Structure 1
């Protein structure tokens, strides 16, 4: 088994449990203990796991990420949204992911999709993103092609913004785009906290054949600082916490609302 395949297999083992031991890797992947330890060290350097004595845990970079990435009270809802979004993405698609916790959840689901890990002479998925944490998260998946925009890094969100980011996005064509937001109002549409992020999010959505706002129900009715001007808000993936009245108001304005079913833990 080649090293990229081993790294994928180790991440798959972590996806099944919160921890893995060197002995588990030795037995299941038929490698030496030294090889298993080197692979774990490599993944730890990529911040895809945390090394422990004798193995590793998937409880990884939450302490290094902005506060909104840790202790997320809506995590279960965002996982459900992520699975619903993943179900829309066929093998071979070109997708855009902005930053944010829900987009990061989508990346996590895609990273464990077995059909995307099957050997292929061409990318099984192409991801265009302005979020460096998402690019890092998917970097060890050899079948997934990653394109990162340029730009100025926002330390609050790990997103690249500014004219370099927009210049790159103007040169790509996406099949799907998934855009996270800080607020979502039926009247003024999606909003975020930063005007630079809003501009990149809007352009990402406009470059896609199909664009989806991904927002848990706690964001509905909230208005943040910056609107996504130029983007016609047509699709929303949210959780079953949305009220009947809220859904009807979105649909009356032409928005297709997709309810993500809960995901078993």
Structure 2
């Protein structure tokens, strides 16, 4: 029974379903989420107002609205897979390491695991991760400044890149919107891509953490080629053919 789920989680399920199919009707969504048609209509109107989908007669479609959902919705997608990915990723971190973390829900899960394990030094441009970690005594926290992105809670731009150039991390975890053999790592925002690239350029080892929906996908701005990536951690739903191509490019792949 799904009728008791939180509105944010329900919105995330709607966005994921509509994105995957291109469109969906009110009755279809009502059955899927076990809520009334009136509830679904309110949800669709709210998501339309946020420009996350297009409200249509009888349902909703992807349309031409925003390509990147705000983090509070993305964090609810594929939550079990992201938690499993985070556990496998955190296991790659040596004791007392200096760790770079870009933003995203998987990176947040990694941050929590590392903070519990401690001691660790974390360099991040994500304000939500910084707020989560600041009270942990076993975490030495370095926050990278820059221009705030509302969609990802990250600080990006020239200031962030300049600051990152002054630090070196033993391992950096990179969240991406797409990764594939042909186009490497990509994201929706050009400024975010450049800041993410700075993380890879100033780390001994870069690990991409991406659920299976990101594998083989290409988005607007290129972060880096696969030659800059040492390891990919993803879930078992990833297309095997694409994982084989990524492995052939020299990237170690862990599936959970």
Fold agreement, TM-score > 0.5 = yes
Report the equivalent of 1:182.
Answer: 177
Task: Give the drift of 1:112.
Answer: 2.8
Equivalent of 2:139 in 133, 144, 147: 144
Task: Give the drift of 1:81.
Answer: 0.8
TM-score, normalised to structure 2, is: 0.69
Runs of 4 or more consecutive aligned structure 1 residues displaced over 3 Å after TM superposition: none
Report the equivalent of 1:57.
Answer: none
Task: Give the drift of 1:107.
Answer: 1.2
Equivalent of 1:68 in 63, 66, 71: 71
For residues 168-198 of structure 1, the C-alpha deviation after alignment (integer angstroms, 9 at most, x for no partner) is 1001111000000011121111111101111
Q: Is 1:257–2:253 an aligned residue pair?
A: yes
Report the equivalent of 1:244.
Answer: 240
> Which segments of 5 or more consecutive residues in structure 1 lack a partner in the other structure?
1-65, 117-123, 261-265
Equivalent of 1:164 in 156, 159, 167: 159
For residues 84-126 of structure 1, the C-alpha deviation after alignment (integer angstroms, 9 at most, x for no partner) is 111111221000000112111211222333xx2xxxxxxx210
Report the equivalent of 1:99.
Answer: 103
Q: How does 1:1-265 map to 2 (within 5 A)?
A: 67-70=70-73, 72-113=76-117, 116=118, 124-229=119-224, 232-260=228-256
> Which segments of 5 or more consecutive residues in structure 2 lack a partner in the other structure?
1-68
Distance across 1 between alignment mates of 2:253 and 2:210: 11
Report the equivalent of 1:44.
Answer: none
Distance across 2 between alignment mates of 1:213 and 1:221: 13
CA contact (8 A) 1:199 1:229 kept: no
For residues 41-93 of structure 1, the C-alpha deviation after alignment (integer angstroms, 9 at most, x for no partner) is xxxxxxxxxxxxxxxxxxxxxxxxx7433462211111011101111112210
For the aligned residues, what is the CA RMSD?
1.6
